[in-house]
Amino acid sequence: MKIIRSIQQFQLYRSRLQNKQIGFIPTMGALHAGHLSLVEQSLDDFQHTIVSIFINPTQFDNKNDLNHFPNLLEQDIEKLKQAGVKCVFLPNFD
């Protein structure tokens, strides 16, 4: 599984998939059956599926909410790998 962490890497990766139909599933992580259902549908419908995991700190009014948001990145990546996803985009906030 390819793990991409920067916009530049993502753009390069995407450019190599020029003529392919791509499904893109943006998430905040803490993946559950609903996310995995979207992944399964995307894998069925498109030639390539990319899942992003990004927690935007600016969307939380209270920093405590952000601090309590589950961080399950390793488990999420494993779930996506098991589902057959070939690329995960993990942009950082900076």
Residue 35 catalytic?
yes
41, 13 contact by CB (below 8 A): no
Q: Which of 32, 35, 48, 68 is catalytic?
A: 35
The catalytic residue positions are 35
